Structure 1
Amino acid sequence: MTAQPTAAVRPYRVEIPQSALDDLNERLDRARFADTIEDADGEYGTAVSRVRRLAEYWRHGFDWRAFEARLNAYPQFLTEIDGQDIHFLHVKSETPNGTALLLTHGWPGSQAEYLDVIDPLTAAGFDLVIPAIPGYGFAGPTTARGWNVHRTARAWVALMARLGYERYGAIGNDGGSMISPEVGRLDPEHVVGVHVTQLFSFPSGDPAELADVTDDEKRALETLQWFWENMGAFNQLQSQQPQTLAHALADSPVGLLGWNIQLLPETLDEDFVLANVATYWLTGTAGSAIRFYREMALDQEKADGPTTVPTALAGSANDFYGIRRFAERDHANIVRWNVYETPGHYTAHQAPEVLVRDVVEFFGSLG
């Protein structure tokens, strides 16, 4: 790591005012829950029973201050890039000149996704930079158009240069699995590898691509089709009219809870679910976070060929992770493709030891 001026990087601590927590509790106390019909638990969307249970725990069990203290146990900073404040954790290892890792979350997650891997990865000799996507979390909402995958990736390249890293890897989950490969495309001179839990490469529409699909690929395509037909409403709405939904999410913590937990399944512990949901509520970024989908839908920027940096997948068998033939069309240097029997979408939290091992092995293999 090369020393750089740090005037543009300001120390930060999470300190939510007690008045904001009091307001949240009052709103939870006054919550008016949706009606439902008999035997429809989950069939029509997020189940009322689960929303009630989580709202009760949010009000009487979840400890925001404990989560806040966990975040504040690690160095955090703000810096302005491209007119937008960026919040990030920056945790250094004791290994001089070790590889830095840039870890990016998605929606409806947050930096909380990576808290369980910070200590083991720094112990393995990696410096960690964990930013929040612009418009998500503690730096506040975005204030201008255009914060899509490409603009975020450019901001990440600028961030790593500002921090003085000349050699780093890019890691991602969910939306981060779109941003991190783009970081590699933009900065191949400094990005030594990209490690993601999904590779979002899909059929182009050419029938020839599907002529000889394997049974495993067919199952993956069927899973993908089922998801979009049964669980894809969030993407449609957030890609078209995020502001319409934002009015409800900004005014009701229970409304925000009901919307976000559609992709925070019951296999996750309640504290993790609420750490993520509460972050959106207490920072006022529920609306700007979903606006990211609209920005992606409007984005006309096209890739000029496949990515070329070494790329690794550590997918979960219980989540869509990608289809290799299509991924290889978009990423020319996939050197590692592992699928694990992990619980689901949030591997860094649900199976941190699996992700850490895969990351250490991958970046160790790159020299």
Structure 2
Amino acid sequence: MTTNSVTPFRIDIPDSALEDLKDRLARVRLPGRETAPDSSQGVPRERLEELLDYWATGYDWRELERQLDELGQFRTTIDGLGIHFLHVRSPRPDATPLLLLHGWPGSFLEFLKTIGPLTEHGFHLVIPSMPGYGFSDQPTTPGWDPDRIARAYGVLMRRLGYDSYLAQGGDWGGVIATRMGARRPAGLRAIHVNFPAFLAAPPIGDDPTPEERDALEQGRRFLTVQSGYHVIQRTRPQTIGYALTDSPAGQAAWIYEKFLDWARPGTLTRDEILDHISLYWFTGTAASAARLYWEQARQPLTLTELDLPVGVSVFPDELTRTPRVWAERAYHDLRYFNDDIPAGGHFAALEQPQLFVEEIVRFSRTVTA
């Protein structure tokens, strides 16, 4: 096998790992109940107990394995690291290649419900697992920051034979898509984001508009109430990794909290949530995924302005709703902007796959016509 080869991949989680998980869940030790009447102290114990019980007695990991193995999974080595990805081609001869990029605590699984509709609309899909996530290798040396991942994805698309493609991302996927847009790898025509990278350093005007002030207030509330995970993962990812890798209850709570806080109640099933939790658990990627925050914290916090075509979709329940003026200041060729989407939040593709697909289709028409 050469370093440039692309090889089929099948999931091989042994039965012993599933039995070990059930054994750990049977012996789980939880703290006392929260003293607050809401979730302001974190995941309520009763909610977590219900999820853990279903994980142990009702959830079927093998069903997810079967679904993924039928789709078409692959691995290839780029810059010394094995990269896992889904590659699903559209039956349409004029299909547009589309790179779909996930974030944390999501994964490539976020896009499963969009694969059928997107391929039917005429997109060849490449959906990688970020380094340190899912079935991609875990970096053993520092340096795998968003810019390096962006370079690797450019190599991936060339290796697959795509000389013209689009990239889409939210959360870390939005950061990496933005870095790709800045680097302009051969073949990248445009990017679409549903959580712009500039929200960490927004292009605020001298006299902020009401929309800008609302977005800044949303950001302030997030930093005040919901950013504990972010501080820990960008400063001590290894330490939190020990706890999450050893305890399924800890790993479940760490991720479950984000799905409870960042998605509208009732939009995600227990199985969809446990698919993600189980992926992190069985691959032992709690620490390696968290290290991406540590890597990014060592980069300068500056606004990345882009000159290639960009599209932005603002879902109503997003952590921070992007004002159009910010997108216009950062993206000098803003082809598409929509902040009038009826539903959806941070995990847009997972929560509202139909609306997400509609946004991608509308954006693509502005750059592929």
The answer to whether the superposition gives a TM-score over 0.5 is yes
Equivalent residue for 1:259, pick from 254, 261, 264: 254
Instruction: Give 1:99-110 correspondences, 5 Å limit.
Output: 99-110=96-107
Kept in 1, the 8 Å contact 2:133–2:289? The answer is yes
Deviations 1:299-341 (A, max 9, x none): 25977x6211111111211112423333333322222111212
Task: Give how far 1:99 is off.
Answer: 1.2
- Which residue in the other structure is 1:214 paired with? 209
In the alignment, the residues of structure 1 paired with residue 242 and residue 99 of structure 2 have an alpha-carbon distance, to the nearest angstrom, of 33
Note if 1:118 corresponds to 2:124.
Answer: no
Matched AA of 2:275: A
Task: Give how far 1:83 is off.
Answer: 1.1
Task: Give how far 1:204 is off.
Answer: 5.5
* RMSD across aligned positions (CA): 2.0
TM-score (norm 1): 0.93
Task: Give how far 1:38 is off.
Answer: 3.7
Instruction: Give 1:206-245 correspondences, 5 Å limit.
Output: 209-245=204-240
Task: Give how far 1:6 is off.
Answer: 9.5
- Which residue in the other structure is 2:284 paired with? 284
Task: Give how far 1:188 is off.
Answer: 5.4
In the alignment, the residues of structure 1 paired with residue 139 and residue 315 of structure 2 have an alpha-carbon distance, to the nearest angstrom, of 32
Kept in 2, the 8 Å contact 1:196–1:314? The answer is yes
Kept in 2, the 8 Å contact 1:124–1:360? The answer is yes
**Which SS does the other structure have where 1:316 is aligned?**
coil
In the alignment, the residues of structure 2 paired with residue 259 and residue 349 of structure 1 have an alpha-carbon distance, to the nearest angstrom, of 19
Instruction: Give 1:162-173 correspondences, 5 Å limit.
Output: 162-173=159-170
Kept in 1, the 8 Å contact 2:259–2:273? The answer is yes
In the alignment, the residues of structure 2 paired with residue 237 and residue 39 of structure 1 have an alpha-carbon distance, to the nearest angstrom, of 23
TM-score (norm 2): 0.92
- Which residue in the other structure is 2:157 paired with? 160
Kept in 2, the 8 Å contact 1:145–1:295? The answer is yes
In the alignment, the residues of structure 1 paired with residue 342 and residue 11 of structure 2 have an alpha-carbon distance, to the nearest angstrom, of 35
**Which SS does the other structure have where 1:353 is aligned?**
helix
- Which residue in the other structure is 2:144 paired with? 147
Kept in 2, the 8 Å contact 1:200–1:327? The answer is no
**Which SS does the other structure have where 2:314 is aligned?**
strand
Deviations 1:158-193 (A, max 9, x none): 100111100000011211011112112222541122
Note if 1:78 corresponds to 2:75.
Answer: yes
Task: Give how far 1:106 is off.
Answer: 0.3
Equivalent residue for 2:173, pick from 176, 194, 216: 176
**Which SS does the other structure have where 2:277 is aligned?**
helix
In the alignment, the residues of structure 1 paired with residue 245 and residue 332 of structure 2 have an alpha-carbon distance, to the nearest angstrom, of 42
Equivalent residue for 1:66, pick from 31, 41, 63: 63
- Which residue in the other structure is 1:248 paired with? 243
| 5+ long unaligned stretches in structure 2 | none
Kept in 1, the 8 Å contact 2:6–2:74? The answer is yes
- Larger RCO, structures 1/2 (Cα 8 Å, 6+ apart): 1
In the alignment, the residues of structure 1 paired with residue 230 and residue 65 of structure 2 have an alpha-carbon distance, to the nearest angstrom, of 30
Note if 1:22 corresponds to 2:19.
Answer: yes
* Equivalenced residues, count: 360
The percent identity for this pair of structures is: 38
In the alignment, the residues of structure 1 paired with residue 200 and residue 349 of structure 2 have an alpha-carbon distance, to the nearest angstrom, of 28
In the alignment, the residues of structure 1 paired with residue 199 and residue 121 of structure 2 have an alpha-carbon distance, to the nearest angstrom, of 35
Kept in 2, the 8 Å contact 1:200–1:321? The answer is no
Task: Give how far 1:144 is off.
Answer: 1.7
In the alignment, the residues of structure 2 paired with residue 338 and residue 221 of structure 1 have an alpha-carbon distance, to the nearest angstrom, of 19
Task: Give how far 1:77 is off.
Answer: 0.5
- Which residue in the other structure is 2:270 paired with? 270
Matched AA of 1:59: A
Note if 1:327 corresponds to 2:327.
Answer: yes
